Amino acid sequence: MTTNHQTITKMNEMKLFGMAEAYGDQLNNPQFSDLSFDERLQLLIDRESIGRENRKLTTRLKFARLKQSASIEDIDFRHPRGLDKAQIIGISQGDWVRQHQNILITGPTGTGKSYLGCAFVHKAIRQGFSGLYVRLPRLLEDMGIAHGDGRYLKLLNQFSKTEVLVIDDFGLVKLNLQQAHDILEILDDRYQTKSTVVTSQIPTDKWYGIIPDQTVADAVMDRLIHNAYIIAMKGESMRKKQSKKGSKNNENNEVINEVINEVK
């Protein structure tokens, strides 16, 4: 085994995968011979740094379990949903996470609330923050089981450490008192230390109605509303729009086929 191959093997054993790949490229490309030692070393370090950041990003995205592959850049601002493009782009710069602010997204079904929530978290993950997506019905089920199998504190700890937590479909069902206390525990741990995104079909002023105890409801709402961006979406369902578009395309195709048949 040559010295060069031994060096690459040693780099891989030390998990310097990016550096090993870059070193192999330098060996196989004569143009690198014109560079100084410091310049070639800098290229190796840069490749290793980029590789590590990409692996970290992949790990964070896998942990987040986002419902949709969403991104701020792909949001359709042309559809009339009440979205302020300047506000959305401004929020996505990341200060809301650094300042431990929340985002509350409401609107009719199909308007893209979940997509927008996932897009905010996806952007935050790309900026180096950790994220996690949960649907409230599944969250409540997991918390209920955790009370019995001893995982309750472990789950609370996981939620408290996650820098951006998405709670989707808030308010689909009324909470019982235990579930309301569970939500309060999660939000209390995160209050002014982490950021939470909540999506709901119900306007925020109606959220009190899904929590059975007024005192708990006040505590939950205080921890959500305080220092939060509220995005109230409106308009026709995006899915309905796409369905109409598909129907229109089918009609056009039928007309074209009829013309073709007549020509034949």
Q: Quickly count: other Cβ atoms within 10 Å of residue 76's Cβ.
A: 11
229: region left, alpha or beta (phi > 0 left; psi from -120 to 50 alpha): beta
End-to-end CA distance of the chain: 71
pTM for the full predicted model:
0.75
pLDDT interval class at 241 (50, 70, 90): low
Q: CA-CA distance, 25 to 110, in Å (whole number)?
A: 49
Q: Which two tokens stand for residue 219?
A: 């505590």
pLDDT over 80 (residue 264): no
Residue 107 pLDDT > 90: yes
Instruction: Give CA–CA dist 223/36, Å, rounded.
Output: 57
Burial 188-199 (b: 16+ CB within 10 A, else e): eebbeebbbbbb
Residue 7: exposed, middle, or buried by beta-carbon count in 10 A (0-12, 13-18, 19+)? middle
Mean pLDDT score, 237-244: 54
Evaluate the CA torsion angle 182, 186, 192, 195 in order and state its sign.
negative
Q: Mean pLDDT: which of 5-14, 59-68, 101-110 is highest? A: 101-110
pLDDT value at 161 more than 80: yes
Nearest to 132 by CA among 156, 159, 169, 170: 159
Q: What is the pLDDT of residue 216?
A: 96
Q: Mean pLDDT over residues 155-173, rounded?
A: 94
Round to whole Å and give the CA distance between 145 and 152. Answer: 8
* pLDDT digit string, tens, across residues 17-47: 888 888 888 888 888 888 888 888 898 888 8
Percentage of the chain exceeding pLDDT 70: 89
Lowest-confidence region among 75-79, 86-90, 136-140: 75-79
Position 68 scores a pLDDT of 85
Mean pLDDT (whole number) for 115-134: 95
Which pLDDT value is given to residue 51? 80
CA dist 59 and 192 (Å) reads 26
Q: Name the pLDDT band for 248 (thresholds 50, 70, 90).
A: very low
Q: What is the pLDDT of residue 247?
A: 44
The first and second tokens of residue 164, run together, are 């951006």
Lowest mean pLDDT among 20-34, 90-104, 124-138, 189-203: 20-34
pLDDT of residue 239: 54
CA angle 217, 206, 165 (to 5 degrees): 65
For the ranges 31-40, 219-228, 236-245, the maximum mean pLDDT occurs at 219-228
Is there a contact between 119 and 71 (Cβ–Cβ < 8 Å)? yes
Work out the average pLDDT over 54-81: 84
Helix (H, G, I), strand (E, B) or coil at 171: coil
Q: How far apart are CA 30 and CA 13, in angstroms?
A: 26
Rounded Cα gap, residues 45 and 25, in angstroms: 13
Q: Write down the domain spans for the chain.
A: 3-63, 71-238
Domain 71-238: give its CATH superfamily: P-loop containing nucleotide triphosphate hydrolases (3.40.50.300)
pLDDT at 238 over 80: no
Q: What is the mean pLDDT of the chain?
A: 86
Q: What is the pLDDT of residue 72?
A: 93
